[in-house]
Chain A
Amino acid sequence: MTTSTAIEPGPETLDARPALLTVENLRVSFGDAEVVKGISFTARPGGCLAIVGETGSGKSVTARTLVGLTGRGSHVSADRIDLAGVDLRRASGREWRSIRGREVGFVLQDALVSLDQLRRVGDEVAEPLRLHGWGNRRSRAERVVELLDAVGVPEPEVKARQRPYELSGGLRQRALIASAIALDPKLVVADEPTTALDVTVQAQVLDLLAASKERGTSIILISHDLSVVARLADQVAVMRAGEIVEFGSAHQVLHDPKHAYTQALLDAIPSEHTRGTRLAPPADGVSDVPRVRKIDRDRPVLRARNLVKVFQGPDKIDRTVVNDVSFDLFAGETLGIVGESGSGKTTTARIALALTEATSGDVLLHEKPWSSISAAARRTVRKQIGVIYQDPLSSFDPRWPVGRILADSLRTGSRPPSSKTEAQERAVRLLEQVGLTREHLTTAPLRLSGGQRQRVAIARALAPEPGIIVCDEPVSALDVSVQAQVLDLLTDLQDELGVSYLFISHDLGVIHHMSDRILVMKDGRLVEQGDAEAVFAAPAHPYTQRLLTALPRLAQA
């Protein structure tokens, strides 16, 4: 099982500098479950090693083991864990504490929860300084300002006195990095440091880590996202189920992968190159046939006219969340709406679904009034428009098994099943259509995997046989390989049934892969719209250009 895990670095990764960190045959288990199965790697000064893997690959556990925080009930063994000549396997609690923060800095994802909300940003950044006896109160305060300034926080004196929740996501993450590099550690371990961030902010944070690397810090970057890694890493280790399946230079791993799993991961990343192709390897017997598109540009199924939505905040101040947004969705088409958080894309989707009332403007469904009619009148035509959410689990009644969820949805369609048996048979057909089986009928959604849940959600949306499905970030919570399967399923269903998708996503790659036309939203406004190929090839609006520049690409490696 573990025979081929210790992969020697290829010749191109050889470096004259001695390794800062050497890990050999690291094993971590919790109880009987071994989650890291004998992995080996090295990290060099001024280099970046990326450890990439999906949920459950053991990458985060590995990261935490490097600072001796594997967690309760864990058992760690290794032939070697050397950091700058110190054998960490024998480190005592006290020794670990002197290493953490001083020798090794650690950056977690999402600073909103990774910084103490009740303390000032300055105190958080100063904590490693204080713990390791650096300077006095005053010199520490000065150092904090320097550090915040160095990571690009504007007005560092002011921000140091604020609390994390008063800062924007990007600034918070910078502050978190500032606290990790406060004592200029030789090694920085970053565990998904950009995952919760918008793409433009993500690019800035990666640049910050790159600058640290330039100064000679060794960086270990943990990520699920190969394209993020491409921007920073010199070496890449691909982990699956506790083993490193491939290890090599970033260029080699990302462009000439030796292992089938790495290849599959790379293929699964949606981008401009993957349009019209399948992302996941096709199931047996299914050949990769080219897509058949039947878009009817004369038949708009959903038209939005000058939508405006104003919300009043708790402070009685009006915020225009959606500002003069118009679009048409044609039969058989996928219209992508892309934007960063707070751009108003989800509110637009909710107005299109008539779940939120627009402040002004209206929506037509099949050229007939939709948003302006009474709720009762709307109910009779609801079946024509379905929805898929980002978090399918919370959209299912926790008491209901899959079969009941589907039967309930079938009843709302234009051909309600006439008997229990018919409902069940049709539910099974739906399950098969989305790649599940009859056995799932009696399963509670809680017991399904993330991908399976989203499949059930798709089946539920399909049950009333709608012509339009609004997909609100349908794959954002999924691993890339599962995401690939779900996106493939959505395209297959479109080819088969001719449904139109209003597809909301923050991920430009996903949008590019899926959409025929796209709308780019920023601060509630539509800044650009047009044919997907055209917009991506030659973005007209500066914001779109910025988005595309910030977009991490594999080609960067």
Chain B
Amino acid sequence: MTILVEVPEPAVDPAGSGVDQRPAARPGVRLARRIVWKVAGAVAVVIAAASVTFFAQLAVPGDRATILLNIQTGQHQHYTAAQLAPVRKEFGFDNPLVAQWLRYIGGVFHGDLGTSYTQHRPVTQVVGGQLGPSLIITVGALVVAWILAIGITLLTVKRRPVVSALGSLWETFTACLPQYWVGIILLVIFSVDLHWFPVIGGTSVKGTVLPIVTMAIPLAGFLGQVTRDEFEKVLDQPFVTTARTRGQSDTGVRLRHALRHAVLPAITLSGWALGALLSGAVIVENIFGRPGIGQVLVTAVSTRDVPTVSGVVLAVAIVYVIANLLVDLAYALVDPRLGGPA
């Protein structure tokens, strides 16, 4: 799990004067305006992301029609122009580059991501059916990770030194764990030895538990680290002291005041985390023999079916963009301050 993500600081009082000089736009209007901008930005990101995947398809060395035929026939040879022509026509390779690009971008918004080299089916079809199972374990893992992270942080942050150190150690350790390793250990212990869960899980409920736990553990460590750092900072803030001077108990201070501040950075990171989880899903699905984009992707990468790979990558990017929109909204709910993550 990476620790290399910038956490934007909420901008407080940009004028620095302490005097409220903002125009009196109502919060609702302000929020609506912000959402419109965010959505526009998100569309732009999707277009740009689609362009990147489009050009990735061009970046494959060699003639695309030749590669395509070779992939389909499993051979390695040259073809005559006559042999290539129908393929070029079918896939639109003979159109001008700009036209191909525009068609690809336009297609993205109509749910058309091109045609798979190997399966001769639209990429949307290949990917579409598989996105659901992947999203289930991804969202599941995010929820479990949040519960674990908040629970452990609340119980261990700024307690007796031993307790705090244990909590911190747990987070440092789990945040470093590669998902494949966690997955294999869980598989060996709970499926192979204890037979509690099936070795090949499929999409059954029982088979969904281990994949979710596998992805949740490292993420919980990571979110926990971020939340703990913030929690420690917040508990030293004067407003926490103020709350105590009013007679607020330690638990009250933690739950009513500190927690809300402390989860802000982790909320910001959740959009990113969802994307990271989707790539983790590729590995986890592989280990637990679970259908999903992971299986599609691995097959496509090994056959070098670049349109399909691009399709999966783009689909994930879109999920990421949507997730970040939701994160922004969640952030605005928890932190009503103007600014928030820009």
Which A residues fall within an 8 A CB radius of B?
64, 67, 69, 97-102, 104-106, 108-110, 112-119, 127-128, 131-132, 163, 165-169, 176, 179-180, 196, 313-315, 317, 319, 341-342
Contact = CB atoms under 8 A, between A and B. Distances in A.
A166 B245 CA distance: 23
A315 B336 contact: no
Contact of B18 (A69, A106, A112): A112
A110 B15 CA distance: 17
A315 B12 contact: no
Contact of B246 (A112, A127, A167): A127
B251 to A, nearest CB: 11
B239 A117 contact: yes
Interface of B: 12-15, 17-23, 237-239, 241-249, 252, 257, 260-261, 334-337
A131 B250 CA distance: 13
Given A118-B336, A342-B15, A97 B247 contact: yes
5 contacts: A106-B246, A112-B12, A118-B337, A165-B337, A341-B19
Contact of A118 (B21, B241, B245, B335): B335
B245 A69 contact: yes
B336 A100 contact: no
Contacts of A112: 12-13, 18
A132 B12 contact: no
A475 to B, nearest CB: 20
A342 B17 contact: yes
Contacts of B334: 118
A315 B23 contact: yes
B18 A168 contact: yes
Contacts of B21: 313, 319
Contacts of A128: 246-247
A359 to B, nearest CB: 17
B17 A115 contact: no
Contacts of A113: 237-239
Nearest to A120: B336
B163 to A, nearest CB: 14
B241 A69 contact: yes
Contact of A106 (B17, B239, B245): B245
Q: Name which of B18, B242, B246, B336 has the most chain A CB atoms within 10 A of its CB.
A: B246
Contact of A132 (B20, B22, B237, B247): B247
A67 B252 CA distance: 17
A27 to B, nearest CB: 22
A319 B242 CA distance: 35
B243 A116 contact: yes
B238 A313 contact: no
Contacts of B261: 117-118
Given A106-B242, A131-B248, 17 more contacts: A69-B245, A98-B247, A106-B246, A108-B238, A108-B241, A109-B238, A114-B239, A114-B242, A117-B261, A128-B246, A163-B336, A166-B20, A168-B18, A176-B242, A179-B242, A315-B22, A315-B23
Q: Name which of A104, A108, A114, A179 has the most chain B CB atoms within 10 A of its CB.
A: A114
A358 to B, nearest CB: 19
A481 B242 CA distance: 30
Contacts of A167: 20
Contacts of B13: 112, 165
B238 A110 contact: yes
B337 A117 contact: yes
Given A169-B18, A313-B14, A108 B242 contact: yes
Contacts of B260: 118
A314 to B, nearest CB: 6
A180 B244 CA distance: 11
B318 to A, nearest CB: 29
Q: Name which of A127, A163, A313, A319 has the most chain B CB atoms within 10 A of its CB.
A: A127
